[in-house]
Structure 1
Amino acid sequence: MRSRLSRLAGGGLVLLVTSQLVAACAGGSGGSGQSSDELDLDEEVTLTVQQQTSAEAMFAYIGEKFEEKYPNVTVKFETISQEQKVGSNLAVLGSSSPPDVGMIPLNSEVYTQLTNADALVPISDVWADADLETRYSAPVAASMQTDDGPTAVVYSQLIYDVLWYNPDLFEQAGVEIPEDHRIESVDALIDMATDFRAAGIAPLQLGGGSGYEASWMLDAFLPTVATEEEMANLLTSHNPNVEITTPYDGSPFVDTLEALQALGDGGVFQDGYLGQDAATALAPFLTGDAAMVLNGNFAVPEFEKADLDFTPDWLLLPPVGDESKVLQAQYFGDGLGIPVNSDAVPWAKKFIEFVMSDEMQEEAVVNIGKLLPAVTSLPSDELAVDSWSASLLADIEANGSAPGWTSVVPGGFGQQFIDPLVQQMLQGELTPDEVAEQQQQHLIEFRDKN
């Protein structure tokens, strides 16, 4: 979940591990010249693959099917926790004896430091064999490019910034449900919240103290006020090879911060929201005591467990600018990559290609993992997903989607840095301009270090 994805290694650990990575990778034997076609089917191979907790059944299925296809290969799994994935796993992947396939959250400092140290094998050939340039959405494919081409794949997606709502409470408060799942404007959302409060109903539950939900909303607002060129620059300018053409201390970034401040000042969120984590914020919605909650498709299991006495539906956050650009926010962060010191690079490439096949995306990721596929090549109306997720996917198919800013840029540059500032802004301790100025200064410092 996003809450765990936001807990990254401290700066001292990152610097220490980075120096170790450079030393370890200098003697790496994997190299990028080996192709996934260079497979000896008579060679007995043990392939070590990392999996994360809660995904064991999904990866076990993938491993079993891979072994059926390649009987000479034994897949051995190493399980890591969510906390390890975004922290101590950096040292494991950069060591002289890493797993052959590693778990790499792409919006984390783990990925940033591995990339900076050339510690991952470029896998352009895997992308070509799996046709990922076409099967990923264009923004996702573009966001994963490095100077050496792609060095990872993402195998699933999450949809976040979803406003789940209780239709019964809308009717009770006399609040009209917006058409086509879209709220007309920031002012319209504030008016809705005012009506809910007048009826004694908590308006919108937000895990403001979670470390990520406060800054999530920037991801929904930014694409509605930024041009395609501005958005592209905001997603990539942390790379020192990219010219800064859209600074953070001007429009559109300041506009989104001002909109977020307006929601806080307008009483849109529940009382005490800045002191609540995501689970605490969700609870009143599940018991029917709150009109809306900010969450994502990953709330569906909670709906199914809670035995709700109402049927939730969903809305999207309102636009700051062009209402036609209100799109689903998608998180593509759970990735797989190959450490350069892997002893079985060609087989690791073949395994990753196998994970990204339509067959495994559907049978393993969707049917067993209960996740959404990372690729667009599977018809949403044919996937065995719950009705809520099917509705979200159908909207993406009809209207498009956008990868969120905090889900694409490195965590140490984006979410980890901006979320505390947004919380301070909502507490009245900082202005939107001051937050934007700090983000711009952080951009300059981040580029200098990388």
Structure 2
Amino acid sequence: MKKFLRTAAIVAAVAVALAGCTGAGGGGKAGDVNPSGEIKPRAISWLLSRPADGATITIMKELADEYAKKHPGFKLNLITTPDRPSYIQKYETLAAANKLPELFDTDATPFAQKLAKQGRMVDAEKLLKSIGVYKDYRPNALNYQRFDDGSLYMIPFEFQLEYFWYNKALFQQAGVSVPSSLNDFPALCKKLRQSGVTPLAVDGQDAWPLERYIAYQPFRITGPEYIQKLKKGDAKFSDSTGTKAVNWMADLGTSKCFQEGFSSQGYSDAQNLFTSGKAAMYNIGTWELSSLATDKLNSAVRNDVDFFTLPTIADSATAANEYVVSSGIGMAVNAKTFDPLVRDFLKFALGKYPAAYAATGALSPTTNVETTIPAGATPLYKKALDQANDLGSKLAMPWDTQLDPTSNTRLQQELVLLVQGDMKPTEFIDTMDSTIAQNAPKFFK
């Protein structure tokens, strides 16, 4: 009963925010990207899962205000829920009630693909081509948003690359070098531990940073293929690829790669551990460049910070320049409410957004603008950005966007136990194979 009331409250609260904003609309089809008719200004809404003070929301607010000056009566209502679990509940509840607004955030999940197959999302590839901006987007920025069948229904607003940041002085002190293979990590961690430092700082509290690691071995062994099969129950952790990944995670644990009590330490804890010189490595994306490549960084470590990309393995199926590259959560366009106004606003905003975003010091999802290097940035800032110009085509997709929600939550819980040594690899494998077998079929049907 409590769950029903909470769900009903979500629908009611968002319905109030959307009142008067979705009354107009084209009621069009997913492939109809150039609806005919007059542009009639009105309020539209965007259901968001982004930081309220982040660059994307700030820029889009400014662009909406600029558009409204020439289109009196237009307004962009931003309905923000940065907390991802709460957002997903809200988004899926509204979708089930057929109350999604004109624009809404979503990853390329099976749930989103169902909406696309039902004709409830505008074909983003056709839309971007129609308004003349498709050619400007980085292929990997678009590919991150695609469903497994290659179709594109989400528009990216950012572009991030994930690296292993490391402290050169601590490596030298321990007598170690940058690992040439993923399989070098356990031995590397042991030597760093012996030198008196934490090998890897990780945000265990939020679960997804630790989950990155379980994806690495399968990506190097098979490319994207393993997770595409695993999430549907067509592959198992008991397979050779899965077993390799699980045993590697267990080895990271027994080698004490992560800080003591990592499961209860958060984002800032992990960052501070690295920037204070107490941890030798930190696996995170370019969204933290302003904290890692700046003259404001602790002078004791500032000149020792560098990065390396995800190491390969022998007979790797993926190249050294292929690793975790993401374009964040995408924006979908509601086909039901898509009309000349929504199209015209998107054409206006998407034409101006890249330059404004690049001016903040971030990588644009497009290649037609140059990122502004902020004042106080160290040479490492540009070095990290330049890697975007030399990327392969295969992406190491974050597993939290691939697995069904129940299996993903269970995986995150069991990973902590596995790495802490509270669960044997065989127990982990049996638990996860059973969980996926039970939940994947009904989610991917």
Please say if residues 208 and 276 of structure 1, whose CA atoms lie closer than 8 Å, have aligned partners that are also in contact.
yes
CA contact (8 A) 2:105 2:329 kept: yes
CA deviation string 1:54-75 (max 9, x = no partner): 233221233245457x646723
Structure 1 residues 388 and 106 mapped into 2: Cα distance closer, same or farther (>3 Å)? farther
Q: Deviations over 1:128-186 (max 9, x none)?
A: 325648844369538623789533222213333x221122323333333x3xxxx2124
Match of residue 330, structure 1, among 320, 325, 332: 325
**TM-score, normalised via structure 2 length:** 0.76
Match of 1:384 in 2: 372
Q: Deviations over 1:354-388 (max 9, x none)?
A: 5544x422x233224x543234x347xx3224654
Q: Distance in 2 between matches of 1:16 and 1:446?
A: 29
Q: Please give the alpha-carbon distance, in whole angstroms, between the structure 2 residues aligned to 1:35 and 1:259.
A: 48
Identity of matched residues, %: 13
> Per the alignment, do residues 95 and 286 of structure 1 end up closer, same or farther by CA in structure 2, a change over 3 Å counting?
same
Query: What's the counterpart of residue 54 of structure 1?
Result: 53
Quick check: 1:299 aligned with 2:298?
no
Q: Which amino acid aligns with 1:373?
A: S
Correspondence for 2:127:
126
Structure 1 runs of 4+ with >6 Å offset: 10-18
What residue ranges of structure 2 are gaps of 5+ in the alignment?
12-21
User: SS of 2:32's equivalent?
Assistant: coil
Indicate how the Cα distance of structure 1 residues 420 and 79 shifts in structure 2: closer, same or farther if over 3 A, else same: same
Residues 153-232 of structure 1 aligned to structure 2 (within 5 Å) = 153-160=155-162, 162-176=163-177, 178=178, 183-226=179-222, 228=223, 231-232=224-225
Instruction: State the match for 1:275 in structure 2.
Output: 264
CA distance in structure 1 between the partners assigned to 2:33 and 2:151 by the alignment: 16
Any conservation in 1 of the 2:407–2:435 contact (CA below 8 Å)? no
Structure-2 separation of matches of 1:151 and 1:284? 39
- 1:260 Cα deviation after fit: 1.8
Q: 2: distance between equivalents of 1:292 and 1:313?
A: 10
- Please say if residues 106 and 410 of structure 1, whose CA atoms lie closer than 8 Å, have aligned partners that are also in contact: no
Residue 424 (structure 1) aligns with = 417
Q: 1:352 to 1:328 in 2, by over 3 A?
A: farther
Quick one: which amino acid aligns to residue 353 of structure 2? M
- Change in Cα spacing, 1:432 to 1:102, as seen in structure 2 (3 Å) is same
Conserved? CA contact 2:43–2:77, under 8 Å: no
Partner Cα separation in structure 2 for residue 437 and residue 170 of structure 1: 37
SS of aligned partner of 1:373 = coil
Distance in 1 between the 2:5 and 2:237 partners?
A: 27
Matched residue type, 1:295:
I
Give the aligned partner of residue 77 of structure 2: 77
Return the letter of the residue paired with 1:43. Answer: K
Among 88, 91, 99, the alignment partner of 1:86 is 88
Cα offset, 1:16, TM superposition = 12
Correspondence for 2:365 among 370, 374, 377: 374
Structure 1 residue 126 displacement after superposition: 0.7
Pick one of 334, 337, 357 that aligns with 1:365. Answer: 357
Paired residues, what number?
Answer: 411
Aligned to 1:21: none
Distance 1:12 1:258 in 2: 43
Shift of 1:216: 0.8
Q: Is the 8 A contact 1:93 1:102 kept in 2?
A: no
Query: d(CA) in 1 for partners of 2:199 and 2:31?
Result: 56
Residues 66/145 of structure 1: CA separation in 2 closer, same or farther (3 Å cut): farther
What is the TM-score when the length of structure 1 is the normalising length?
Answer: 0.76
Aligned to 1:328, what secondary structure does the other structure show?
coil
User: What is the Cα deviation at residue 314 of structure 1?
Assistant: 1.0
Q: Which runs of 5+ in 1 are unaligned?
A: 1-9, 19-24
